[in-house]
Amino acid sequence: MPFQLFIPLSLLCALLPLHHGAPGPDGTAPDPAHYRERVKAMFYHAYDSYLENAFPFDELRPLTCDGHDTWGSFSLTLIDALDTLLILGNVSEFQRVVEVLQDNVDFDIDVNASVFETNIRVVGGLLSAHLLSKKAGVEVEAGWPCSGPLLRMAEEAARKLLPAFQTPTGMPYGTVNLLHGVNPGETPVTCTAGIGTFIVEFATLSSLTGDPVFEDVARVALMRLWESRSDIGLVGNHIDVLTGKWVAQDAGIGAGVDSYFEYLVKGAILLQDKKLMAMFLEYNKAIRNYTHFDDWYLWVQMYKGTVSMPVFQSLEAYWPGLQSLIGDIDNAMRTFLNYYTVWKQFGGLPEFYNIPQGYTVEKREGYPLRPELIESAMYLYRATGDPTLLELGRDAVESIEKISKVECGFATIKDLRDHKLDNRMESFFLAETVKYLYLLFDPTNFIHNNGSTFDTVITPYGECILGAGGYIFNTEAHPIDPAALHCCQRLKEEQWEVEDLMREFYSLQRNRSRFQKKTVSSGSWEPPAGPGTFLSPENYDKVREKKPAKQKVPLLSCPSQPFTSKLALLGQVFLDSS
């Protein structure tokens, strides 16, 4: 019997009344300027509450007006909120926080930290702030962006994570002690996202520091996951990093898997890497073949493709934004509208939503102020200008303020059915949720630059163009300037190419006739696929084998970066505590 979906009529009814700035009877869209100021006020209510009640702890507890350490002991909310400050235009506070972090954050501590969370929140946040420092008016040191205090902090934090990658498979453990490395007896079971969500931060770090170890371990982890997919092209949820055997075999696009797919696309854009994109497109075919039903995505058994969980998870709401990055706008909008109906039903997205029943799943009724649906709205609005996407932004502002706002910040919604609150404000609320809301309503923000303006900086390696746009958001919404990857540490192949060109030039000057007789290498290579097309990963490897050892790379120039550079997700794993 084929799987059927029943969508209750109640899903089509919005619960929230219209407010000032919302579409009126004439169908006008919400006023962006009005909601931009509302979002800014939300940020400062939460941010000031953290500073007054929780700093230097990781996160604010808004119901008791105090703080606690959650993912380490890094003053995490301050790191996560730093680039949001600049996006909101607050350069003075950005500059102050940079000094505070340098004076107060120490990674040489005896703390067990999540490898995944430390990477996306700490390493990603510090890298983004480092690359935005000059725009924020920070007096940068000579050699920036190839050096700087925030870059050194990011590198130190990332090096603390490297012991986790020392496994037989190259796939990392999920937890590492920042002082002692991987603890004896540490579980080898890691979620898929916890293995495949490093290439954006680690490749950026390698490019800026000149140390290839970070990008190398990230690529190995990505490839091991690719090689572990099932015969029908799917990956599961948790894998043993020592044996490479799947422990949880549910396949889907949500919690525990999500940012692996995200980083294949974003890594491909950031690094101009056709193989990473080809890998994602192969996965996308399998996902559509086995998990896609009526513009919803279900969970299936990774080897058989049979439905295992007919649920929508709130973390899956990043998917329409990811679809927009590969140009699949029509499918992205249809899926987005499905997710938006769930928001309208509850005034937020429950962690799990039973699609056939049209209601929440027991013990998964909460909404911790996640950003994913807002993130997708921002990307789709940039692509389409559809006012429906601004309506989602309006609804998000109204819902969060009405349900979640308390005296000391904004509290996680424990249960969307009765609006009970929980005593936590996750750092991603300031890093992602507020940021994407603001960018949705701020079309002229520097993040949306289309290349019409840019900054020129002189580095030890030559002239460099920065700030031209095309920012790649990591899965914690920390924007990375892709041009920065071309500013530092020229590859040896590029250095050799310059030397070869100079030798040929002087040879031409000395003896033009000799130059004309010179045997030209027959190693020139033309890709068999046309522009905009991608080979399968296996065929791509075969083509690369025919390619000369030294690939020609344009010198002192950056690859064309379309706006296709969204980012954000969480990849958090839900552990049933029952």
Q: For strand 292-293 and strand 296-297, is the pairing parallel, antiparallel, or unpaired?
A: antiparallel
Residue 532: left if φ>0, alpha if ψ -120 to 50, beta else—which one? left
| CB of 135 closer than 8 Å to CB of 491 | no
Instruction: Give the amino acid at 503.
Output: R
Distance CA 367, CA 233 (A): 32
Instruction: Give the amino acid at 22.
Output: A
Name the token pair of 148: 């700087």
The answer, yes or no, to whether the previous bond of 320 is cis (omega within 30 of 0) is: no
The answer, yes or no, to whether the previous bond of 168 is cis (omega within 30 of 0) is: no
**Position of tokens 């019409």?**
452
Distance CA 517, CA 355 (A): 71
- Minimal CA–CA distance to 9: which of 345, 417, 233? 345
The active-site residue, picked from 58, 201, 372, 481, is 372
3-state SS string for 192-208: CHHHHCCHHHHHHHHHH
Q: Which helix (H) or strand (E) holds 428?
A: helix 428-428
The active-site residue, picked from 59, 80, 250, 258, is 258
The active-site residue, picked from 58, 59, 215, 351, is 351
| CB of 272 closer than 8 Å to CB of 259 | no
Name the token pair of 480: 């990375």
| CB of 482 closer than 8 Å to CB of 503 | no
| CB of 286 closer than 8 Å to CB of 323 | no
Q: Hey, which residues does 473 pair with through a beta bridge?
A: 479
Cα–Cα–Cα angle for 444, 441, 385, rounded to 5 degrees: 85
432 is annotated as an active-site residue? no
Other Cβ atoms closer than 10 A to 514 = 10
106 is annotated as an active-site residue? no
**Position of tokens 């290579």?**
525
Rg of the chain over Cα atoms, rounded to whole angstroms, equals: 24
Name the token pair of 83: 């680039």
476 is annotated as an active-site residue? no
- Minimal CA–CA distance to 127: which of 436, 447, 408, 477? 477
- Minimal CA–CA distance to 193: which of 432, 475, 428, 480? 475
Kindly list the distances between the CA atom of residue 319 and the CA atoms of 71, 232, 462, 480, 568, in Å, as whole numbers in the listed order: 26, 21, 39, 20, 10
Distance CA 69, CA 76 (A): 8
Distance CA 304, CA 390 (A): 40
- 475 labeled part of a ligand binding site: yes
The active-site residue, picked from 117, 250, 262, 375, is 117
497 is annotated as an active-site residue? no
Q: Could you list the residues known to form a binding site, using ranges.
A: 475
Q: Could you list the residues known to form a binding site for Ca(2+), using ranges.
A: 475
Catalytic residues: 117, 258, 351, 372
